[in-house]
């Protein structure tokens, strides 16, 4: 009798775990759909602009980047923090980051964060990362555990925030405040 009860309990736990995995998976899918929607909108907004190319004259690249950022901002004038990273998605991203930060060897990851240049960067959706400040690096262990993004978008960590950034326009697409725990 006892083994049967134990088996039922194990199955119940497994089912609950599977439901949670499915729910997490659905949240990630929603996130990636929103990111892909951004990529489509971006593509449309940039129609007619020359794609950055290594044949461009120096200096024109900077102007093109600014032009791209402006076009994207015009295409999503109402965009605000949380549009892509809704509270539910933000919670899931924080959970994934937490897994990395609590995994074996996470001390190396935390050490990498401690070594980041501390440059205050105000975060605002559609604003461009200032090119005079050092670009925050993204530790590979975190990138491995976060959902894979299309090449037009990347993750950056600024202070404790996780930022979604347009890789060519350099603009902030959305961000998750307090994605990283308070430093010990």
Partner 1 sequence: MRRIPTFILPTALCGAAALLTLAYGQPDAVFSFPLQVDSVRFAIIGDSGTGDAKQAAVAAQMVRARSQFPFGFVLMMGDNIYGGHSNADLKRKFDIPYGDLLSAGVQFYACLGNHDSENERFYAPFNMNGKRYYNFRKGNVEFFALDSNYMDPGQLDWLIQQLAVSTAGWKICYFHHPLYSNARFHGPDLDLRQRLEPILMKFSVNAVLSGHEHVYERLQKQHGIYYFVLGNSGELRPNDLRPSPQTAKGFDTGRAFALFEVTGDQLYFKTISENGQVVDSGSLPKQPTAVAWLGRAEQLLR
User: Should residue 53 be labelled a site residue for partner 1 when binding is judged by CB under 8 A?
Assistant: yes
Give 20-25 contacts, CB < 8 A, sequence gap 24+. 24/92, 24/95
- Residue 139, judged by CB atoms within 10 A of its CB (0-12, 13-18, 19+), counts as middle
User: Should residue 135 be labelled a site residue for partner 1 when binding is judged by CB under 8 A?
Assistant: yes
Residues whose CB falls within 8 Å of the CB of residue 121, separated by 6 or more in sequence, listed in order: 129, 130, 133, 136, 158, 159
What is the closest distance, in whole angstroms, from the C-beta atom of residue 75 to partner 1 in the complex? 20
- Pick between residue 29 and residue 167 the one whose CB is nearest to partner 1: 167
3-state secondary structure of 75: helix
Q: Write out the binding residues for partner 1, residues 93-122 only, by CB under 8 A.
A: 105, 107-109, 111-112, 115, 117
Q: Write out the binding residues for partner 1, residues 136-175 only, by CB under 8 A.
A: 136-141, 143-144, 148, 154, 167-168, 170
- Pick between residue 65 and residue 126 the one whose CB is nearest to partner 1: 65
d(CA 59, CA 64): 9
What is the closest distance, in whole angstroms, from the C-beta atom of residue 136 to partner 1 in the complex? 7
Binding mask 20-39 for partner 1 (x = CB under 8 A): --------------------
Q: Sheet containing 161-166: which strands, arranged edge to edge?
A: 153-158, 161-166, 172-176
d(CA 137, CA 105): 19
Q: How many residues bind partner 1 (CB under 8 A)?
A: 35
Tokens (6 digits) for 109: 């990851």
User: Should residue 177 be labelled a site residue for partner 1 when binding is judged by CB under 8 A?
Assistant: no
- Pick between residue 40 and residue 54 the one whose CB is nearest to partner 1: 54
3-state secondary structure of 2: helix
Residue of 50, 55, 33 lying closest to 153 (CA atoms): 33
- Pick between residue 41 and residue 61 the one whose CB is nearest to partner 1: 61
Chain contacts with partner 1 (rule: CB under 8 A): 52-56, 58-59, 61-62, 65, 105, 107-109, 111-112, 115, 117, 131-132, 134-141, 143-144, 148, 154, 167-168, 170
């Amino acid at each position: 009798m006892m083994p049967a009860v134990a088996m039922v309990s194990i199955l119940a736990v497994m089912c609950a775990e599977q439901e949670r995995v499915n729910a997490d998976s659905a949240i990630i899918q929603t996130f990636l759909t929103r990111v892909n929607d951004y990529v489509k909108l971006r593509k449309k907004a940039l129609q007619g602009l020359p794609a950055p190319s290594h044949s461009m004259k120096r200096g024109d690249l900077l102007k093109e980047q600014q032009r791209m950022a402006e076009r994207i901002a015009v295409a999503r004038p109402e965009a605000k923090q949380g549009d892509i990273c809704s509270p539910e998605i933000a919670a899931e991203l924080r959970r994934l980051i937490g897994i990395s930060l609590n995994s074996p060897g996470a001390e190396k990851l935390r050490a990498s964060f401690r070594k980041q240049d501390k440059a205050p960067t105000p975060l605002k959706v559609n604003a461009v990362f200032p090119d005079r400040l050092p670009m925050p690096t993204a530790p590979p262990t975190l990138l491995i555990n976060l959902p894979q993004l299309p090449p037009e978008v990347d993750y950056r960590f600024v202070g404790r925030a996780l930022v979604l950034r347009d890789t060519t326009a350099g603009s902030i697409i959305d961000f998750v405040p307090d994605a990283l725990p308070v430093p010990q």
